[in-house]
Amino acid sequence: MADTVSSVASGMVVALQANYLEVELDAAPDGCPVRLLCTRRTRLSHRGEAVYVGDRVCVEAIDPGQGRAVVADVEPRHSFLIRPPVANVSLVAVVLAVEQPSFDPDQASRFLLTAERTGLEVILLLTKTDLISAAALESLVARLQGWGYDPLVLSSEAGTGIDALRQRLAGAQLSVLCGPSGVGKSSLLNQLRPDLQLRTAAVSGRLQRGRHTTRHVELFPLGLSARVADTPGFNRPDLPDDPQELGVLFPELRQQLDPWPCRFRDCLHRGEPGCGVSSDWERYALYKAALIELSGLSRPFRGG
């Protein structure tokens, strides 16, 4: 009889809860479930190797009866979203509500900057568009276009934009829905895959904040070859540590560097000689405020 307990297989981490990883096998051995509940080999922790949703892993000590195994190794990642942590992402979808909770440009930018740090394609999903007038929506869309994004206009309530979203996500191997709590990330997934019946909860309080309903990152298949990650919302992503890294995370700043690269490579675009970046864009104030925040953390500024 084959010793299935010692067999080895490869797969992908599809969910993470406390100390357990759920791994979906590429090909399950006979009589073994496709999804296994796994712990990590202690030597992985000793080497300081964390394992995240989206990671490709090798599992061993498979116990088909119990549906358990142990993650022994993690393959190198081709991309990584820092927060929420997801490995091997191909598309980052930043989800923002027009209301409930209301649109906050500083918060929105922090999510977009975090997404841009992956170097991957970033899209912006505007949700709950049933809650504002057509004119207000039009002006918000125009504003976001000025930030370099062409937002997808959505409403899970009215069913607006769901087919367009499905098409967009189906073209990416692994996309992540990330954004503040209560903006309707899980609601969007329920629209795309009604069978999922993910838990959602009404926003509450004076600020109409979300209630942190989704607790774990989890991947769900969409169509034949795509997966989408639902993630727990949070309120204030950190800025990158390095002021030099900040500018290129703003698409509307990046666009200005293309025709007019700055004279100095370490230019921070605050009116330095030969700088190719103008001050005539909406988020310039936000960019400068972020630089000041970062300089408090790292090194002092020269000049003003």
Ligand X SMILES: Nc1nc2c(ncn2[C@@H]2O[C@H](COP(=O)(O)OP(=O)(O)OP(=O)(O)O)[C@@H](O)[C@H]2O)c(=O)[nH]1
Stretch that binds Mg ion, among 21-29, 82-90, 141-149, 184-192 (CB under 5 A): 184-192
Q: Would you count residue 185 as binding ligand X (CB under 6 A)?
A: yes
Say if CB 71 and CB 21 are below 8 A apart. Answer: yes
34: which 2 tokens?
């496709």
Q: Would you count residue 187 as binding ligand X (CB under 6 A)?
A: yes
Q: How far is CA 9 from CA 22, 29, 44, 227, in A?
A: 14, 8, 17, 21
DSSP per position, 80-97:
EETTTTEES-SEEEEEEE
DSSP annotation of 160 reads B
Q: How far is the CB of 168 from Zn ion (least distance, A)?
A: 33
Of residues 150 and 266, the one with the C-beta less far from Zn ion:
266
Quote the CA–CA distance of 277 and 233 in Å, as a whole number.
33
User: Do the bridges between strand 152-153 and strand 174-178 make them parallel or antiparallel, or are there none, so unpaired?
Assistant: unpaired
Quote the CA–CA distance of 155 and 118 in Å, as a whole number.
27
Residue 136 contacts by C-beta under 8 Å, 6 or more apart in sequence?
98
The entry of Mg ion, ligand X, Zn ion, none that residue 277 binds, CB within 5 to 8 Å by partner kind = Zn ion
Residue type (1 letter), 297: L
Q: How far is the CB of 57 from Mg ion (least distance, A)?
A: 25
Of residues 98 and 277, the one with the C-beta less far from Zn ion:
277
Stretch that binds ligand X, among 9-17, 33-41, 153-161, 219-227 (CB under 6 A): 153-161
DSSP annotation of 239 reads P
Q: Would you count residue 190 as binding Mg ion (CB under 5 A)?
A: no
Say if CB 34 and CB 28 are below 8 A apart. Answer: yes
Contact code string over 72-111 relative to ligand X, x by CB under 6 A: ----------------------------------------
Of residues 47 and 211, the one with the C-beta less far from ligand X:
211
Quote the CA–CA distance of 145 and 118 in Å, as a whole number.
21
Residue choice 210, 237, 243, 247 for contact with ligand X (CB under 6 A): 210
Stretch that binds Mg ion, among 20-28, 41-49, 128-136, 208-216 (CB under 5 A): 208-216
Residue choice 12, 87, 267, 290 for contact with Zn ion (CB under 5 A): 267
Q: Would you count residue 291 as binding Zn ion (CB under 5 A)?
A: no
Number of residues binding to ligand X, judged by CB under 6 A:
25
| Interface contacts to ligand X, rule CB under 6 A | 127-128, 130-131, 155-157, 181-187, 200-203, 210-214, 232-233
